[in-house]
Amino acid sequence: MIVELGHFALALAFVVALVQTVVPLAGAHWRRADWMAVAETAATTQFLLIAFAFAALTWAFVTSDFSLAVVVANSHTLKPMIYKISGVWGNHEGSLLLWVLILALFGACAAWFGGNLPPTLRARVLGVQGSIGVAFLAFTLFTSNPFLRLAIPPMDGQDLNPLLQDPGLAFHPPFLYLGYVGLSMAFSFAVAALLEGRVDAAWGRWVRPWTLAAWVFLTIGIGLGSWWAYYELGWGGFWFWDPVENASFMPWLIGAALLHSAIVVEKREALKSWTILLAILAFGFSLIGTFIVRSGVITSVHAFANDPERGVFILLILAVFVGGSLTLFAARAGIMEAKGVFSMVSRESALVVNNLLLAVATFVVFVGTIWPLLAELLFDRKLSVGAPFFNAAFTPFMLILAVVLPLGAILPWKRAQLGRSLAAIWGAGALALALAGLVWAMQTGRSAMGPIGVALGGWLVFGALADLWLRTGRGALAGRLGRLTRLPRADWGKATAHSGLGIVMFAIAGIYAWEREDIRVVQVGETFAMAPYDITLVDVERVQGPNYISTMATMRVTRDGAEVALLRPEKRVYPVKAMPTTEAAIDYGFWRDIYLVIGDPQDGGGWAVRSYIKPFANWLWAGCVMMALGGLISLTDRRYRVAAGARRAPAAVPAE
Amino acid sequence: MRALILALMLAATPLTAPPALAVQPDEILADPALESRAREISKGLRCLVCRNENIDDSNAELARDLRLLVRERLVAGDTDAQVVDFVVARYGEYVLLNPTGRGSNWILWYAGPAMLLGGLAVAGLYLRRRSRTPEATATPLTEAERQRLDELMRS
């Protein structure tokens, strides 16, 4: 019964989304306030209905209702409760329901917190958001309905893919979707502004928090996925340039560009058409990502249900939304006349360079991702484009970005003098170079990657600190320290996020440059050296888990006789899916991770053991967290809160 | 994350013979210089039965065969390029994770730099124009905005 109600609610949500699209857009066109007012109610209703449908599906998973096809294919009575819940979105149908739930949530948030928007703009934003809802609800209902019943329910389910039975993966998709789908708000704002025929500083200020929020979620989602790959796959890889990873990375890059160009719109009323274009493209890449994940056209290792019919449907959605918005964009380009005037050397120009580099980097990832498809279609060549290509073709643009970033970040608006700005932060650069030189001297005879990583990472971090310090102005030390605490949150957010990027770059270089690996056969009781540690294989035993059987090794890591860690790497077999997984044991450390993997028993006795020392691995995740945190700090900046609270408490608006 | 498919594939193997995990101890060459060359080459070769995975990381049986083949050729005295050519001759261009620049692939390799140059040109023109146009005057407020402003000022 609950399942049927959920199904019904989903169908009803589709109708509500239709209303939310048609009535407010028509109302905005003919200036009918009562029609426009429908948007708010519709957005809330649509969200509540989808939330109910989602709750109904969750209920089916929690109670192991095996009359539902989706539950049978992805659940099992013995599965721990948390994975019964995360199993809801661990499959195509359920994840799509989560997709539309988040879409409706963003729409509802725009309705709840959009009180300060002009009524026509708000109606149009909600209308466009509603139309995306129509498309995806139709997709869900007609091609991927999670509420399909089975005529003869089996006694038990087929279990969730064991690799997905992991806390990291329980939270990775929701965050990614919050990011992907969040970019739909930027899209809706862009299309609404085109319909409205007006793009101004206020628009820049409204669109930015939504983009920022989406980007923060995307950062967390990508970071979680990368971390999961690191500890779960058994060799500590964290990024594979897989098409599906690229699918999440492209919106992230474009989103980052959009964040920065929206600043120029907000502060200087320039780059308007470019920003609108980026907003369209950012969501376009989200849709392309959805297409790549769910169509199976490009071979990826992320298997979702691959169904040509679904692929065609998404392609259709993509064509309608991106094609339609680009047509509208071309028709309305004339209205977006720039106002701000600035010289060649200025913050505006620096942000143009930022956008150019991010856009080119995205383009490289895009071409690399679809090239196998194009080459086969156009030139009849069956070829692969893998990590070596992306490392060679993508990295240079990021390196250039890192080199110019700290300087660009401190250039004054409108008109800057390169010499003066350089003089202000030469210390940060010198410090970074000195540090790199020191590392270079210490590591004699290894690749240049480590020192380069140190130099760039240091330059970004010290540059961000210098930026904060410069913002405090001139005068006595005490005064400047005092002003430091009173800087706008946006300044702190910027410094945090930029430092995070530096730390990520450093960590990636560090891991690749200084990682050590050891593969060998070890007898139980044997000790082997991996300087400066000694590692002993103490014991290997069979352990029965809740829904798996584990081969668990106990390994002691010592340094100069003192115990550093007792680690238990495992190999698990999940009988229901007949699928093995490796569970590496990791001793997380500030400077390095010790990463141990137990392999197979060998014919001559003993076990294959793989040990890694991964330097600075934790810095990578810390850097991701800092980038996300920087975004969050910016999001709490006063100017957004003032804007958000404007309607409810007009008295609180200060006369600036 | 590619492990999803990988896991599906592994699922086909019977439980009694668990799959090997990437490079095995018995594969490693005694000469560390040769071995490190073998690892480098392996990272650029695709495991043909996997999805987007190099043979160095792959658990598949075929990947192991390829790893052994690479090491065999290296021991026989081939250069890195000869080893790669040998594998490509056998399995086709598809095996290369690092696509060559030959033929139509120049598009792939030069797409990024070309776009950067084009973008620089466009951005340069735009910035030049921006720096020369006189500052536009502010657009006047609409009637609705004026009312709202009054409202804000009163409160």
Per mean pLDDT, which range of A112-126, A158-172, A532-546, B94-108 is the poorest? Answer: A158-172
pLDDT category of residue A22 using cuts at 50, 70 and 90: very high
The strand pairing partners of A565, in sequence order, are A557
DSSP code of residue A412: P
Q: What is the pLDDT of residues A148-165, one digit of tens each?
A: 888 888 888 887 777 778
Query: Does any CB of chain A come closer than 8 Å to the CB of residue B64?
Result: no
The pLDDT score that the predictor gives to residue A266 is 87
* Inter-chain touch A375–B105, beta carbons under 8 Å: yes
Residue A471 pLDDT exceeds 70: yes
Highest mean pLDDT among A30-44, A124-138, A325-339, B56-70: A124-138
The pLDDT score that the predictor gives to residue A445 is 66
- Which residues in chain A are contacts of B28 at CB distance < 8 A? 519
Q: What is the pLDDT of residues A101-131, one digit of tens each?
A: 999 999 999 999 887 888 899 999 999 999 9
Distance, in Å, from the CA atom of B16 to the CA atom of A601, rounded to the nearest integer, reads: 12
Q: Which residue has the higher pLDDT, A423 or A595?
A: A595
Which tokens belong to A320?
């309608």
B4, B22, B134 member nearest A301 (Cβ): B4
Residue B58 pLDDT exceeds 90: no
Cα–Cα nearest to A301, from B127, B10, B140, B14: B10
The pLDDT score that the predictor gives to residue A167 is 81
Q: Which residue has the higher pLDDT, B3 or A514?
A: A514
- Which residues in chain B are contacts of A383 at CB distance < 8 A? 93-94, 96, 99, 105
The pLDDT score that the predictor gives to residue A307 is 67
Query: Does any CB of chain A come closer than 8 Å to the CB of residue B121?
Result: no
Highest mean pLDDT among A331-340, A415-424, A585-594, B7-16: A585-594
Highest mean pLDDT among A246-255, A263-272, A568-577: A246-255
Which tokens belong to A346?
């200025």
A24 Cβ neighbours under 8 A, 6+ residues apart: A35, A36, A38, A39, A42, A123, A124, A126, A127, A130
Provide mean pLDDT across the span A458-479: 88
* Residue of chain B whose alpha carbon sits nearest to that of A172: B1
Distance of residue B111 Cα from the nearest chain A Cα, in angstroms: 7
Provide mean pLDDT across the span A386-396: 92
The one-letter amino acid code at A518 reads D
Provide mean pLDDT across the span A295-307: 58
B21, B54, B120 member nearest A356 (Cβ): B120
DSSP code of residue A269: S
Provide mean pLDDT across the span A559-574: 90
pLDDT category of residue A493 using cuts at 50, 70 and 90: very high
CATH 1.10.8.640, applies to B3-95: yes
Provide mean pLDDT across the span A65-93: 86
Per mean pLDDT, which range of A81-95, A193-207, A300-314, A355-369 is the poorest? Answer: A300-314
Query: Does any CB of chain A come closer than 8 Å to the CB of residue B8?
Result: yes
The pLDDT score that the predictor gives to residue A290 is 85
Residue A177's CB is within 10 A of a number of other CB atoms, namely 24
Distance, in Å, from the CA atom of B93 to the CA atom of B116, rounded to the nearest integer, reads: 28
Q: What is the pTM of this model?
A: 0.90
Distance, in Å, from the CA atom of B68 to the CA atom of B28, rounded to the nearest integer, reads: 9
Which helix (DSSP H) or strand (DSSP E) does residue A173 occupy? helix A167-196
Query: Does any CB of chain A come closer than 8 Å to the CB of residue B55?
Result: no
The pLDDT score that the predictor gives to residue B19 is 46
The pLDDT score that the predictor gives to residue A306 is 57
Residue B120 pLDDT exceeds 60: yes
Sorted by where each begins, the domain ranges of chain A are 1-165, 516-618
Residue A301 pLDDT exceeds 60: no
Residue B3 pLDDT exceeds 60: no
Distance, in Å, from the CA atom of B82 to the CA atom of B74, rounded to the nearest integer, reads: 9
The pLDDT score that the predictor gives to residue B20 is 47
Distance of residue B105 Cα from the nearest chain A Cα, in angstroms: 8
Distance of residue B12 Cα from the nearest chain A Cα, in angstroms: 8
Q: What is the mean pLDDT of chain A?
A: 88
* Inter-chain touch B104–A360, beta carbons under 8 Å: no
The pLDDT score that the predictor gives to residue A648 is 41
β-strands A607-615, A592-601 pairing: antiparallel
Alpha-carbon torsion A211, A213, A216, A218, what sign? Answer: negative
Give me the phi and psi of A224, to 5 degrees please: -60, -45
Q: What is the pLDDT of residues A504-535, one digit of tens each?
A: 999 999 998 888 888 889 999 999 998 889 99
Provide mean pLDDT across the span A297-325: 76
- Which residues in chain A are contacts of B144 at CB distance < 8 A? 118
Provide mean pLDDT across the span A571-578: 83
Cα–Cα nearest to B104, from A392, A288, A385: A385
* Residue of chain A whose alpha carbon sits nearest to that of B131: A343
Query: Does any CB of chain A come closer than 8 Å to the CB of residue B115?
Result: yes
Query: Does any CB of chain A come closer than 8 Å to the CB of residue B45?
Result: no
Q: Which residue has the higher pLDDT, B11 or A195?
A: A195
- Which residues in chain A are contacts of B5 at CB distance < 8 A? 300-303
The strand pairing partners of A528, in sequence order, are A535
Query: Does any CB of chain A come closer than 8 Å to the CB of residue B18?
Result: yes
* Inter-chain touch B2–A573, beta carbons under 8 Å: no
How open is the CA angle A123-A127-A129, to the nearest 5 degrees?
120
Residue B140 pLDDT exceeds 60: yes
- Which of B4, B23, B52 is most worth mutating to test chain A (most A CB atoms within 10 A of its CB)? B52
* Inter-chain touch A301–B134, beta carbons under 8 Å: no
Percent of chain A with pLDDT over 70: 95
The strand pairing partners of A541, in sequence order, are A552
The pLDDT score that the predictor gives to residue A160 is 77
- Which residues in chain B are contacts of A387 at CB distance < 8 A? 43, 54, 97
* Residue of chain A whose alpha carbon sits nearest to that of B112: A364
Distance, in Å, from the CA atom of A53 to the CA atom of B144, rounded to the nearest integer, reads: 40
Query: Does any CB of chain A come closer than 8 Å to the CB of residue B105?
Result: yes
* Inter-chain touch B103–A379, beta carbons under 8 Å: yes
Sorted by where each begins, the domain ranges of chain B are 3-95, 104-133
